[in-house]
Structure 1
Amino acid sequence: MFSNFSIVRSTILPSCLGAVLAALVATPSFAADDQAATVYNPADLAWLMAASGMVMMMQVGFLLLEAGMVRSKNSINVAQKNLLDFVFGVVAFAAVGFMLAFGKTGWLPFGVDGDLFFLQQTDSWVAGFFVFQVMFCGTAATIVSGAVAERMKLVAYVFGSIVLSALIYPIFVHWAWGTALGPNSGAFLANLGFVDFAGSTVVHATGGWIALAACMVLGPRLGRFDANGRPVRIAGHNPVLSTTGALILFFGWIGFNGGSTLKASLDVAPIIMNTVLAGGMGTCVGYLLGFKQDGVVLPEKSLAGMLGALVAVTAGCHVLEPGGALLIGALGAAVAVYGNQFVEEYMKVDDAVGAIGVHAFAGVAGTLALALLAPVEHLPAGSRLGQLYVQVFGSALNFYWSFGLGYAFFYALDRLIQIRVSAPVEEIGLNIAEHGTRLGVGHVEDALSELVGGTADLSHRLTVDPGDEAEKLTRLFNSLMDTIQQEERGRSELQSLIRDQEESDRVAALANATFEAIVMHENGLIIDGNEQLGLLVGLPLDQLIG
């Protein structure tokens, strides 16, 4: 993002840092520099704020994409995860994350700056820059929500979002983009010439590797793999919703990449052009690969192609030519589609929405490929092999940092609070278990399936929630169960009468077959007898009874 468009201040922060918070608060910062030293163009700030709004729309896109790609019984939970990771991430990034990412490096490998701690002192430009950056932080956090969908507890996910936003993401940002507010010795990747303009690695791969770590700790959803370990496709309940979300993400990516210039300059147009070209090419490739693999067009393949391409071009959209953007778009799409296949078939990892292939694998592919496809004169290292070396180093460091800390965190958290829901909760869905509400008529469909399969309890009735969209259908189902239960009770009573009559006939036949008179009486009153009794007395049996 910032290697070509850094904002250079005229004064350098003194590097006196203390080890305790009191000393930190007293530390001078970039934000406290003399504002008269740098004059900012209001148009630059206006473009940055507009781009921030477009990036925030990506939260809506991720919400719709992921909610549509899971089953309806979990879609409310996924939507809540997308909401909460953003708002908790905003607070965590404002508190310490922004300082760790862009504060002046001292004796620690991250920024420490009292004026950026809880944003205590910021001028208009730094405030606008924070708004733009917190949207990037929210994007990195929300990548995890789709991958762990349908089985991670909401509270565990919120804890993960806080740690990602306050620690894991900001520190790597410091290494790669830490020169954004001025020269910074701790931004060693940026100083080496690592190129990641808008975050193929810094944002997307970070979120993707943490998602992989979380999925490995969680394990797969129930029924995701058969007895032989083969993956079983669990289709989302609303591909239309997912497609809408993906298109909103495409729109947001214009601000994601275009806004990373940090100014309203002529560079914005070619950056957005490369972004659109890559996204279009990636969708085409995803469609073709999906049709080749499945014989039909599964919606998730086209969407993976689109998003994988956009992720891949994000690193080099400012240095690529149109042909290079198209090639990286095709590469990102292929890596996303085949990467997700590798994750589920060979790693046996259950990623509910394909986030790992799209964000981690395609992010790395785009970060590396720019060294081979961008014009050499645009590469800071001055040669393709030299630039490739720097890109490989940065990508590898990102994997070890993000996956390593992510796995350690979720593993430790699982030992403390058990981050996965129980099997019964997973069966009924997290909408009901964690939010006390439901979406759609899935519960009625399940009850009907049990009824048709002959495993239903006829005394079971569904709870009727007044005002619920399934209220009428639920009442009809309960009425059907009432009718079936009444008919079953009548049938049982009729069968009981038939059995009693058959038993009576057998007893009568046995009694009539004897040569002795048999009489049954109660308190001197004859209530039954056999034919021999009538012959003995000389009266018909019906006159003797009673």
Structure 2
Amino acid sequence: MNTTDSLSSLMIILSTALVLFMQAGFLCVESGLTRSKNSINVAIKNITDFGIATIFYWLIGFGIMFGVTFQGWIGLDSFAPTWEGESADFMSGFFIFELVFCGTAATIVSGAVAERLKFQGYLMITFLVSVVIYPFVGHWIWKGLLPNSGEGWLEAIGFLDFAGSTVVHSVGGWVSLAALIVIGPRLGRYDENGNPVQINPSNLPMAMLGGIILWFGWIGFNGGSALNFDGRVTSIIMNTLLAAGAGLVIALFVGWKFEGYPEPIAPLNGSLAGLVAITAGCDAVTAREAIFIGAVGGALVKPAEALLNRFHIDDAVGAIPVHLVAGIWGTLAVGIFGKGEFLVQLLGVVIVGIFAFGLTYIILFSINKFFHLRVSIEEEKDGLNISEHKARTDLIDLLIVMEKQKKTGDLTDDVPVEPFTEVGQIAIQYNKVLAKVRETLAANEAARQQIEEAFENIALEQNRAERLLLNILPDSVAQELKGEENKVIAKSFQEVTILFADIVGFTRISESMTPHQVVEMLNMIISVFDRLTDKYGLEKIKTIGDAYMVVGGVPNPLPNHADAIAGFALDIQNQIKKFTWKTGEPLQMRMGINSGPVVAGVIGEKKFIYDIWGDAVNVASRLESHGIPGKIQISERTAKLLDGRFELEERGEIEVKGKGNLFTYFLHNRRSNQFSFS
């Protein structure tokens, strides 16, 4: 073996290791983007699918993919292969390189169907991908990778897919799509109106780490596909990383434009989409073309997610936008920028889609008729860690024991303590409470009676304190504040609606009134406003003099917060007209309304209040101060949320101090009186 052959063999081995390491990347991405109660299940699937792929791809899949061809459709030999002689080194290296690609195709499905598919069902899908779908598609497109062994039928007509945008990624995406349609969305993913509900990931830093690992592995994925250590390898790797960077940047800004803030998952999936897109043509395009291909791949992620949500297809990690949509685009891009014919590339995409999606859907639909592929509702609520693998954690063990004590009333034994963990500290404190309870229960009847009387007195004082506290803070915040001493309470809310209202000329006119009269009038007005907040489910934040601030959507989510604030504004506008100054002049208010993200919480140690902060609050305040007496001025963002349910008048652009020019509207009336604000 000469030096060049040795370097090529070494490159294949190193590339195989890099692609295999991508399994760790997929594990991190998928477990990080799903909930912690399912993370063990995701991890087990990622390690198990590669083991299954290894055995069955060796037994059957490799022979179908690279055996002697039958008219370019299927291989007929090389099942359970062993090689001897001069070709042994190359063929063994070639086999393991193709094997890790097979494992990648199977792993793509894991993240898409996470949190609801039975483990047995996932093993069936892995077997189907490893033995049938990936080998058949690979035979049609990559059979000619082995010298002097014939070509697959798509390859023979000129279809090109250098490293697997279609063979690996689109195949995994098509299989994922078929599986998702059969098993349906996760519980709670869509509300009663069909609107998507965000299911928060458990560990975004872990997911980002997985993304970095996948970038690293893709160097072997694309670079190793050259199969020879020649001058192409470095340019292939350069194109790969350029496309990833372009996909990241474009996806970040597209998501920013859609949501109004930089989404944390957008750069992750955008970069992966760029990598998938360039995989088909990384050997055949220039650096500038690679950047364009990756950028389009990243730009397609957000629209693809929106399309899936429209049809209630719940992809837990974005596998279909990243692997299927970007894979299709990357394959077609070869016909635009590379060496292939566009119509041939399009034909290959369609044929592979029909085969991979159609066969998977028919098989899974049929199996699901007799063996339910999805876990039960209760199992899904408990999480697949427990329901599928009985993989309990120290927290779960603690909760099980506490639940048993609650049901039986038997407090004889302490709960288990896992040392050096937060849960262990909770258990220690809980056991101290149990010890005190057992000591109390052992006291004589007279002592028990004294304790009961003491608790009655404490309860009375607690009720009094509770009523006072709930008049200052929202119930949920008050409960949280009581739970831990010296705790800073603060939460972020992605979308709320804020109203600022101010009585016009109050300071000037109140100068002619006594302090008692000023307070009495303010009390009457504010009391009317306060009662209306209960009607609409809103949270009063504060009053400063005659200024009034209220918000919809904190601390409890309010899906129609903009409608509720708009209705509240119209009602207080009508109510304020019932009040007049002693001169007979009616009272008027300026109001400003804006929607956006805020942070809400309690700060300080004395005379604390529940307050909100953020630029959305500042804009609402500016809209009030730059408003017109008797008018309700709203921002463009709030106007979009009201979506034709209220009568609006364009005011146009106004110059707002510290904000520049803002386009605003006046709110006049609701179009229909049939609204529910509960």
In the superposition, the TM-score normalised over structure 2's length comes to 0.61
User: How many percent of aligned residue pairs carry the same amino acid?
Assistant: 38
Q: Which residue of 2 aligns with 1:340?
A: 305
Aligned to 1:74: 38
Q: Tell me, what secondary structure is at the counterpart of 1:150?
A: coil
Higher RCO structure (Cα 8 Å, ≥6 apart): 1
Secondary structure at the counterpart of residue 62 of structure 1: helix
Q: Which amino acid aligns with 2:243?
A: A
- Offset at residue 305 of structure 1 (A): 0.4
Choose the corresponding residue for 2:81, options 89, 96, 119. 119
CA distance in 1, matches of 2:449, 2:372: 49
136-145 vs 465-474, greater mean Cα deviation = 465-474
Query: Which residue of 1 is the match for residue 348 of structure 2?
Result: 394
Which structure: larger Rg? 1
CA contact under 8 A between 2:401 and 2:415: conserved in structure 1? no
The superposition leaves residues 94-137 of structure 1 with CA deviations (integer Å, 9 ceiling, x where unpaired) of 00100100111126820011xx2101335111110001000100
Contact 1:463 1:474 in 2 (8 A): no
**Corresponding residue number in structure 2 for 1:218:** 183
Native 8 Å contact 1:100 1:112 kept in 2 = yes
Structure 1: 5+ residue runs without aligned partners? 1-35, 381-386, 451-455, 499-546
Q: Mapping of 1:23-422 within 5 angstroms?
A: 41-106=5-70, 109-113=73-77, 116-121=78-83, 123-183=88-148, 187-344=152-309, 346-374=310-338, 379-380=339-340, 387-422=341-376
- Partner residue of 2:380? 426
CA contact (8 A) 1:458 1:485 kept: no
- Deviation string 1:228-272 (CA, Å, 9 cap, x unpaired) is 011111111100000000000001001100000000000001100
Residues 446, 201 of structure 1: CA spacing in aligned structure 2 closer, same or farther, 3 A cutoff? farther
Residues 482 and 319 (structure 1), Cα distance of their counterparts in 2 relative to 1, 3 Å cut:
same
Alpha-carbon distance, 1:474 to partner: 5.2
Cα distance 1:77–1:371, how it changes in 2: closer, same or farther (>3 A)? same
1:108–1:55 distance in 2 versus 1, CA, 3 Å: closer
Kept after mapping to 2: 8 A contact 1:156/1:413: no
Conserved 8 A contact 1:440-1:469: no
Deviation string, structure 1 residues 139-197 (Cα, Å, up to 9, x no partner):
00000000111111112111210111011110010000011113455601111111110
Note if contact 1:73-1:442 (Cα within 8 Å) is conserved in structure 2.
no
> Is 1:475 aligned with 2:427?
yes
SS in 2 for 1:263: coil
Q: Is the 8 A contact 1:304 1:337 kept in 2?
A: no
Cα 1:446/1:200, change in 2 over 3 Å: farther
Change (3 A) 1:179 1:107: closer
Contact 1:72-1:439 within 8 A present in 2 as well = no
Deviations 1:68-98 (A, max 9, x none): 0011111011000000011100111000100
Preserved CA contact (<8 Å) 2:53 2:127? yes
Query: TM-score normalized by structure 1?
Result: 0.75
Q: Residues 529-540 of structure 1 correspond to what in structure 2 (within 5 A)?
A: none
CA distance in 2 between partners of 1:439 and 1:198 (Å): 41
Q: Which residue of 1 is the match for residue 573 of structure 2?
A: none
Q: CA-to-partner distance for each residue in 1:499-538, whole Å, 9 max, x for gaps?
A: xxxxxxxxxxxxxxxxxxxxxxxxxxxxxxxxxxxxxxxx
Paired with 1:258 and 1:445, the residues of 2 have a C-alpha distance of 50
CA distance in 2, matches of 1:106, 1:240: 48
Any idea what the Cα deviations from partners look like across 1:5-29, whole Å, max 9, x if unmatched? xxxxxxxxxxxxxxxxxxxxxxxxx
Q: 1: CA distance between counterparts of 2:436 and 2:251? A: 50
Kept after mapping to 2: 8 A contact 1:99/1:112: yes
Once the two structures are superposed, what CA deviation does each residue of 1:285-338 show, in whole Å capped at 9, x if it has no partner?
Answer: 111112212222222211110000000000000001011000001000011222
Relative distance call for 1:124 and 1:221 in structure 2 (3 A) is: same
Letter in 1 for 2:365: Y
> Structure 2 vs 1, CA of residues 483 and 62 (structure 1 numbering), >3 Å: closer, same or farther?
same
Amino acid at match of 1:271: I
Summarize the alignment of residues 476-495 of structure 1 with structure 2, pairs less than 5 Å apart: 476=428, 478-479=430-431, 482=434, 494=452
How many residue pairs end up in the alignment? 443
Q: How far apart are 1:478 and its partner, in Å?
A: 4.5
Retained in 1: the 8 A contact 2:395–2:423? Answer: no
**Residue type of the partner of 1:472?**
G
The code of the aligned residue for 2:39 comes to: S
Runs of 4+ more than 3 Å apart: 182-186, 438-448, 456-471, 476-495
**Using the alignment, how far apart are the partners of 2:146 and 2:291 within structure 1?**
32
SS of residue matched to 1:118: coil
Q: Alpha-carbon deviation of 1:473?
A: 4.4
Q: What is the alpha-carbon distance in structure 2 between the residues aligned to residue 256 and residue 204 of structure 1?
A: 12
Name structure 2 gaps, 5 residues minimum: 442-447, 457-678
